Each structure stands twice: as C-alpha cells, then as structure tokens.
C-alpha cells in the first residue's frame, strides 16, 4: 500500500480543508445551536463536486476514487461532524445504492440532482427491533397487480428510525428495505426475503416524523419514518428482488471506510484545537504545552490520528483495487471511532473550563464523537466481524 497521496488527491484535500476552515467552521456553532442543516453550505459542497466524487463521469460524477471521498469527509469532520456525515451518508447510503443497483431509468431520474448536491437521498434500514440484526425487519412490501395483469405497485407498511438525511427540504428519495416474501427451510425455520424499494419524498402515506433531540450531530438531519399503505410503482424495486440485504452489506462495508475517515477528521480537529490552545494558554509564566504531561497527551493524540488515518487509507486502497476489505473496514471504523472519542476527551481536559462550552469546537466534538462508536455498526459489531476474520466464532 502506498500511503502517499497523489498531487490530485492532495489538492482536493487542501481545497476542502480551506472550504471547511473559511465557510463551515465560522457557521458551525450557529447551526449547531439552531439545530438546522445549512442548505447554503450543502449547495456550495455540491458546487465543489463533493457529492459526485466517487462516481463515474457518465453518471454526472467527478470520476475520482473512494479515497478522494474519504479525504473530503475527513477535512470537513475536523470542524463539523454534522456536515461531514451529511456528505458521507448522502453519498454512501443515498447515492451509492442507486448507482450500483439502479436501472438506467432510475439513474436517469435521481442521479442528476443527487450527485450535484441539489438533492439528498437516504437509506431506510434500521427499525426499533432491526439494527444490526437486519433479519428482524418488520416493514413489508407486497405487490398489488395492475389492471389486466399489467405493471403493479408495491404496497409498503412499516416504520424506520434513525434515518439520516431523510427529512430535509431537499430530500428527494429514500431507499427502504422491506420484507417481500418468506422461505421455509428444510429444518422448518423461516427466512425472510428482503428487498430494497425507492420511495420518493412526498408519497402519500409516507410520513417523516419530528427530528430527534440528539446529544450531538445537531446539524445533521435525522428522523423516524412511517409507511402506511404507501404505494409506489413496481419499477421502483432497486436491484433484484430478495437481494436487498446482500446489496446493503456491500454498501455498509464501503460506508464504514468513509465513516472511519470522518472519525479520523474529528480526532485531527481535536488535536489541532488542543495544540493551538496549548501553545497560547499561559499559566505560571509559560505556555501549558511546555508541561510534559500536556506534551505527552498531545503526542498520544497525534499517534491516534496517524494510526486511524493509516487504517482507513488501507481499507480504501483495498476497496479501490477490488480486494477483500470487510475486515479492514471494520478495523478502520473501530480504531477511528475510538481515536475520536479519546482525543475529544483529552482535548476537553486540556482546555479545562473552556472545553465545556458548546461554542468551543472540542466540546462539540466531545458530544458528537460518541455516536461514531454506534453508527454504521457498533463497536461490538466491528469486533465481531474482526473476530470472524480471525476464524473465531463470536
């Protein structure tokens, strides 16, 4: 693995970093306080081509590799995790399934606005009793045959929760996983057939519930969804019927790599803020960074960032080269999320009382980083996947 970025990748990273510092960071506290997604910033991100980074030019994308997306996510997460996850989820969970499994007609309808940031898409998987155990999905979709045996409609009933980008003013479509059939095995057990179906925003019977009152990620849009006799065309099936779960697993593995990049960015942001403060905060006639304990704490923070970055670089490299990367994605997600939490804690401690004020970026990182150990598969799920990669049953 070559850990050196290309000139093009370095230029992209620098561009997004500058955008993050000059556009996102100055507005971050205001939008966090208002708990509102800044659509003007999302539009500017679209103008920069960030939502189209890993997609082919033929789909309206930038034709870059997946690492390029990760670099952009990392640069944004340094100053605002909510903005970073809006990009990460919008691309990985919103656009990627349509690009990977959509028909020509589906791509033609949805991609032009999605890859340019004019619209957002969401992925509805999680339910009250079906998170890591997607097999426990209760949302159902049944075909209702059209007149004279013509094209039918999917009738969807159920609910989803914790769905990112699902209720913004520019959300255009949500991909929903639903039980579309059952198979009784030889041993008498029943296996659910899961499929993915595209549900446009505004469809009758599709209700977006009130936004969650979250500990962190206040700017990120997250809602529960309900489906009551929701009817969409049979052609809205995304991919093959019965392949919804298998297709989602690939999307989730890819998403964990970008999620690890987000966590690395958060850890990096904490390091940068704490280092700046340690150099300027004067106590007893000298800057606190000259105290060995503070210096060693900052050194450990730097080591965590370096380790997390190398982990997601490795996973992204394997992904780009069509090599197996499931375990590496879980390692990157595990290491990155733990680095973000540890660095947020240490940075807050270095700032003292100032680290407990929400206007301070490290305080927001402290609130935001906990979900990094939960979203896109909990820490325990990552450990389970890694253990299985070692040939263990966990």
Burial class (CB in 10 A: 0-12, 13-18, 19+), 276: exposed
DSSP 262-306: HHHHHHHHHHHHHHHHHHH-EETTEEGGGSHHHHHHHHHHHHHHH
Phi, psi for residue 246 in degrees, rounded to 5: -60, -40
DSSP 139-174: -EEEEEPPGGG---EEEEEEEEEEEETSSSTTEEEE
N residues, the chain: 394
Q: How far apart are CA 333 and CA 336, in angstroms?
A: 5
CA dihedral (64, 113, 333, 37) positive or negative: positive
Q: How far apart are CA 23 and CA 79, in angstroms?
A: 10
Catalytic residues: 376
Q: Are strands 282-283 and 153-164 parallel, antiparallel or unpaired?
A: unpaired
Classify 376 in phi/psi space as left (phi over 0), alpha (psi -120 to 50) or beta: left
Q: How far apart are CA 230 and CA 156, in angstroms?
A: 5
Q: How far apart are CA 315 and CA 256, in angstroms?
A: 9
């Amino acid at each position: 693995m070559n850990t050196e970025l290309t000139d093009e990748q370095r230029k992209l990273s620098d561009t997004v970093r500058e955008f993050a510092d000059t556009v996102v960071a100055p507005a971050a506290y205001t939008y966090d306080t208002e708990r509102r997604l800044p659509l003007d910033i999302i539009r500017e991100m679209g103008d920069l081509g960030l939502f189209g980074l890993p997609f082919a030019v033929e789909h309206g994308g930038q034709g870059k590799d997946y690492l390029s997306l990760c670099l952009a996510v990392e640069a944004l997460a340094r100053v605002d995790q909510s903005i970073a996850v809006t990009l990460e989820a919008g691309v990985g969970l919103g656009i990627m399934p349509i690009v990977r499994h959509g028909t020509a007609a589906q791509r033609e309808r949805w991609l032009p606005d999605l890859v340019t940031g004019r619209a957002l898409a969401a992925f509805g998987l999680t339910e009250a009793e079906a998170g890591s155990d997607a097999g426990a999905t209760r949302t159902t979709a049944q075909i209702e045959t059209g007149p004279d045996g013509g094209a039918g409609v999917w009738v969807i009933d159920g609910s989803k929760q914790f769905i990112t980008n699902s209720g913004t003013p520019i959300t255009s479509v949500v991909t929903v996983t639903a039980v579309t059939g059952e198979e009784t095995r030889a041993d008498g057990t029943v296996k659910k057939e899961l499929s993915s179906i595209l549900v446009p925003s505004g469809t009758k019977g599709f209700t977006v519930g009130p936004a969650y009152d979250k500990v962190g990620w206040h700017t990120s849009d997250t809602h529960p969804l309900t489906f009551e006799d929701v009817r969409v065309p049979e052609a809205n099936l995304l991919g093959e019927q019965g392949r919804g779960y298998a297709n989602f697993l690939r999307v989730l593995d890819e998403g964990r790599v970008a999620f690890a990049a987000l966590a690395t960015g958060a850890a990096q942001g904490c390091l940068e803020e704490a280092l700046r403060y340690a150099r300027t905060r004067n106590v007893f006639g000298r800057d606190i960074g000259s105290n060995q304990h503070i210096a060693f704490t900052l050194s450990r923070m730097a080591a965590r960032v370096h380790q997390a970055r190398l982990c997601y670089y490795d996973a992204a490299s394997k992904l780009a080269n069509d090599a197996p990367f499931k375990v590496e994605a879980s390692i990157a997600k595990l290491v990155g999320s733990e680095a973000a939490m540890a660095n947020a804690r240490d940075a807050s401690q270095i700032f003292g009382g100032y680290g407990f004020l929400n206007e301070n970026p490290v305080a927001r990182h402290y609130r935001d980083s906990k979900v990094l150990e939960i979203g896109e598969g909990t820490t325990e799920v990552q450990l389970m996947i890694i253990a299985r990669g070692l040939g263990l049953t966990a």
